[in-house]
């Protein structure tokens, strides 16, 4: 069986499904939904209290997924919510539980007066977290003590935005992340082939495997929210205008068709695709199954 990194370097494009862990302590409903992608998705990518909203620990839910569904797990780690001691502890815990990879995120700042009552920590940023992962993989906890006897084997990843207006600045940041230890990169959603190809080529030159972000849209209101409220999509907002005035069924059908066509066009050029489940997992699962069937039928 190929290692995690080998699965990103073959001729077969990897397929990941990105979901948020459950809101409470019961994992069963979401596990049941995710069971539909067993044998189709190569990994489940778990968010980390995205948008500052509390969820079950992604490390805990990831270990449940591995034990119950047998799917590889990628966990997002946000520096927003932990100081460096907590980050080290959680990284060691993730490695002990068999988590396959960690995506290093600086994390958005929490606005003052947020109803969650939370406060941003930001003891480290994404670059520092990547360096910490590399250090722990060498057995160094940073405490001046003897190296760890059993070494973690966490594969480190980063995030990037191919839609950024100042794309050269984005590549400068990506180069820093690669130097700090990133081995793969997950992108913000992409909407067109040429933008994706340009990004993949530059990331490959930095030694990074690219998992292109794919965002199926469920309804007109979701498209409007992404267009108006998601800063990383500002330069690509016009791609969301097409859903204005459509019924929910029309939006779902149009989004599925467009994203599937995009994935097919890029399948031979990328490490894989990370299908995001912004409005809930149902449409993301449907797209994952459609692409998986095409991948098998085409011999990819």
Q: What is the pLDDT confidence band of residue 187, given thresholds at 50, 70 and 90?
A: very high
- Radius of gyration for the alpha carbons in the chain, expressed in angstroms and rounded: 19
Q: Distance between CA 83 and CA 132 in Å, rounded?
A: 12
Cross-strand partners of 104: 77
Neighbours of 186 (CB within 10 A): 26
Q: What is the pLDDT confidence band of residue 299, given thresholds at 50, 70 and 90?
A: confident
Q: Distance between CA 34 and CA 123 in Å, rounded?
A: 34
Domain encompassing residue 216 = 6-297
For residue 288, what is the domain's CATH number?
A: 3.20.20.220
Enclosing H/E stretch for 160: strand 155-160
DSSP, res 184 = E
Hey, is 259 helix, strand or coil? helix
Mean pLDDT value across residues 5-13: 87
Q: What is the pLDDT confidence band of residue 54, given thresholds at 50, 70 and 90?
A: confident
Q: And the tokens for 24?
A: 């409470």
DSSP, res 47 = P
- What is the total count of domains within the chain? 1
Distance of CA 43 to the CA centre of its chain: 10
- pLDDT for residue 117 is more than 60: no
- pLDDT for residue 28 is more than 70: yes
Burial class (CB in 10 A: 0-12, 13-18, 19+), 84: middle
Q: And the tokens for 71?
A: 């799917």
Q: Which residue has the tokens 């913000």?
A: 188
Question: Higher-confidence residue: 183 or 81?
Answer: 183
Q: Is residue 275 situated within a structural domain?
A: yes
Which pLDDT does position 168 carry in this prediction? 96
Mean pLDDT value across residues 128-149: 94
Q: And the tokens for 269?
A: 């050029």
Q: Is residue 33 situated within a structural domain?
A: yes
Among 110, 65, 100, which residue's Cα sits nearest to residue 281? 65
Q: Is residue 266 situated within a structural domain?
A: yes
Which pLDDT does position 10 carry in this prediction? 78
Q: What is the pTM of this model?
A: 0.94
Q: What percent of the chain has pLDDT over 90?
A: 81
Which pLDDT does position 193 carry in this prediction? 97
248-266 and 220-229 are packed helices; what angle lies between their axes, rounded to 10 degrees? 60
Asked whether 135 and 108 are in contact (CB, 8 A), the reply is no
- pLDDT for residue 160 is more than 70: yes
> For residue 135, what are the CA distances in angstroms to 116, 180, 181, 197, 211?
33, 10, 10, 32, 24
Q: Is residue 283 situated within a structural domain?
A: yes
Asked whether 136 and 91 are in contact (CB, 8 A), the reply is yes
281-297 and 248-266 are packed helices; what angle lies between their axes, rounded to 10 degrees? 40
Q: Is residue 110 situated within a structural domain?
A: yes
- The string of pLDDT tens digits covering residues 32-43 is 999 999 999 999
- pLDDT for residue 118 is more than 80: no
CB within 8 Å of 223: residues ≥ 6 apart: 217, 240, 241, 243, 244, 251
Mean pLDDT value across residues 100-125: 78
Question: Higher-confidence residue: 110 or 140?
Answer: 140
Q: Distance between CA 38 and CA 24 in Å, rounded?
A: 23
Q: What is the pLDDT confidence band of residue 81, given thresholds at 50, 70 and 90?
A: confident
Mean pLDDT value across residues 148-154: 93
Which pLDDT does position 115 carry in this prediction? 61
Q: Is residue 179 situated within a structural domain?
A: yes
Q: Is residue 1 situated within a structural domain?
A: no
- pLDDT for residue 105 is more than 70: yes
Q: Is residue 105 situated within a structural domain?
A: yes
């Amino acid at each position: 069986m190929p290692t995690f990194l080998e699965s990103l370097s073959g001729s077969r494009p990897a397929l990941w499904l990105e979901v948020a862990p459950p809101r409470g302590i019961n994992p069963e409903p979401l596990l049941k939904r995710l069971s539909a992608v067993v044998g189709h998705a190569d990994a489940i990518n778990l968010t980390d209290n995205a948008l500052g909203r509390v969820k079950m620990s992604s490390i805990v839910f990831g270990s449940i997924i591995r034990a119950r569904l047998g799917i590889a797990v990628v966990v997002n780690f946000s520096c927003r919510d932990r100081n460096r001691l907590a980050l080290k502890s959680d990284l060691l815990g993730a490695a002990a539980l068999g988590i396959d990879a960690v995506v290093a995120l600086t994390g958005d700042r929490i606005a003052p007066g947020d109803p969650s009552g939370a406060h941003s920590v930001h003891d480290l940023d994404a670059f520092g977290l990547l360096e910490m992962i590399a250090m722990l993989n060498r057995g160094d906890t940073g405490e001046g003590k003897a190296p760890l006897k059993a070494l973690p084997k966490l594969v480190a990843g980063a995030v990037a935005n191919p839609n950024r207006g100042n794309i050269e600045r984005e590549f400068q940041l990506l180069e820093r992340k690669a130097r700090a230890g990133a081995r793969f990169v997950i992108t913000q959603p992409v909407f067109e082939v040429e933008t994706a190809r340009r990004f993949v080529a530059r990331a490959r030159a930095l030694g990074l495997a690219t998992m292109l972000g794919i965002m199926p849209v469920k309804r007109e209101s979701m498209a409007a929210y992404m267009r108006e409220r998601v800063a990383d999509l500002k330069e690509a907002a016009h791609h969301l205008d097409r859903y204005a005035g459509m019924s929910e069924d029309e939006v779902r059908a149009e989004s599925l068709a467009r994203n599937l066509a995009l994935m097919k066009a890029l399948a031979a050029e990328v490490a894989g695709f990370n299908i995001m489940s912004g409005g809930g997992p149902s449409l993301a699962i449907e797209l994952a199954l459609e692409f998986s069937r095409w991948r098998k039928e085409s011999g990819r």
